[in-house]
Structure 1
Amino acid sequence: MNDGDTADDIMDATYRALCTHGYADLTMQDIADESDKSKAALHYHYDSKHDLLCAFLEYLYDGFVDRTEDPNGETSHERLLALVDSVLDKPDDGSEEFGTAILEIRAHAPHEPEFRERLTEFDDYLVDELQAVLEDGIADGTFDPGLDAEDTARFIVTVLTGAATERVTTGRPVECTRRMLTEYVETHLLAEQRGVEA
């Protein structure tokens, strides 16, 4: 088994352990119990639970990028909505328990600089992706030329983050957020809806 396979196996075990135990109660032994490796073997690769979880956040980031980059669509409008959908439509292989564990990690980020740094990567990446689509749409006349692409992208990310938090904390589906963001795009961002000449 190569190092890549070992890392993937440890990340998969970490995922399962987080689903079962949550963040606060998670131990290296819990992760070892979900894998075919001993606790000592985990410590060979990661000095502590903190280090392992930092690596796990990087692993999640890579998966998030794979899932959301290059949104489908022939127009900037379609690509923007596809990108929003790709964030709201989380993979169906997860569980509510895992979402709760990630929310716990996010709650510790103000006191854990390395967690904060990695979680910020998610937001910054998504802002950059949304901003690029918006700027393309401004350039081709799809979106209002007076639009501030960066501020709009940050606003959308804030809404998406809130929807994810609400889904975990209250169990509410994201369909209202999807519907209202679609309406926002179509009534506030499209040049034709704002009476702007392309």
Structure 2
Amino acid sequence: MGDTSRFAAATEDDTRAAIMRATYDALTSHGYANLTIQRIGDEFEKSKSLLYHHYDGKDDLLVDFLRFMLEHWEAKAECREEQDPRARLEALLDRVAGVELDEETAAFTAAMEELRGQAPHDAAYREQFTEHDRALRERFAEIIAAGIDEGSFHNVDPARAAEFLLTTVNGVRIQRVTRDDAGGVAATRAELDEYLDARLYRGDA
């Protein structure tokens, strides 16, 4: 169960990757509030005792899960360097702020926002989400700078534009999981696309 493609690079004897896969599946199925070590163990193909051997409890495991997901995301982002900046930016936005999500991705997104909700009260979660936001902000800035260098983007401040995109994306994520309708997400993405056309993309490139 679950999209295990993100773990495809792991070898069969990679215990950490197997635990992360089980955590992903359990988190997608049950969300944070209903997640337990037992439910993660139910998705784990090896001995459940390994979970307790490697982690002190659910939150310790989930913090490592966030770390693992960031490592995966950064490695996957490096594989897209051959695309032109506009294609890279739009692919990234579709990935992190797409209007339509399949059921599994929507469930995982909701669970991740539940985890983000722990950050104000837990320094370990806060540290991981700070790193996730840093990585996404830096990726936006790198793409924008590349577009400016090749002449396809206007000469904006990459850091400021990246911060704006990050804030918008995080708003989309929150709206997606706290509203019963998708209107807010669709409207925000449409306005974001208009911003990119007017503010960032050069029509004569």
Tell me the TM-score normalized by structure 1.
0.81
Residues 68/180 of structure 1: CA separation in 2 closer, same or farther (3 Å cut): farther
Q: Which residue matches 1:179?
A: 190
* Separation in 2, partners of 1:95, 1:136: 30
Deviation at 1:95, TM superposition (A): 4.6
* Whole-angstrom CA distance in 2 between matches of 1:51 and 1:3: 23
Distance apart, 1:191 and its partner CA: 4.6
Render the CA deviation track for 1:38-82: whole Å, top value 9, x for unaligned: 4432111112212111111112213323444436643x3333223
Select between 19-28 and 119-128 the one with higher mean Cα deviation: 19-28
SS state of the match for residue 45, structure 2? coil
Q: Could you say if the C-alpha distance between residues 82 and 34 of structure 1 is closer, same or farther in structure 2, counting changes exceeding 3 Å?
A: closer
Moved >4 Å (runs of 4+): 89-93
Q: Does the CA-based 8 Å contact 2:32-2:115 persist in structure 1?
A: yes
Q: Structure 1 residue 157: deviation in Å?
A: 0.9
Q: Which residue number in structure 2 is paired with residue 53 of structure 1?
A: 62
| Residues 127-146 of structure 1, C-alpha deviations (whole Å, 9 max, x = no match) | 1111112122223333332x
User: Would the alpha carbon gap of residues 52 and 191 (structure 1) be closer, same or farther in structure 2, given more than 3 Å must change?
Assistant: same
Give CA deviations for 1:55-112 in whole Å, capped at 9, x if unaligned: 11112213323444436643x3333223222323498572543332221110110111
RMSD: 2.7
TM-score (norm. length: structure 2): 0.78
Q: 1:154 aligns with which of 163, 176, 195?
A: 163
Unpaired stretches in structure 1, ≥5 consecutive residues: none
Select 2:30's aligned residue among 21, 39, 43.
21
Equivalences, count:
191
The percent identity for this pair of structures is: 38
5+ long unaligned stretches in structure 2: 1-10
> Residue 81 of structure 1 corresponds to which residue in structure 2?
90
Specify the SS of the correspondent of 1:77. Answer: helix
- What is the CA–CA distance in structure 1 between the aligned matches of 2:22 and 2:128, rounded to whole Å? 20
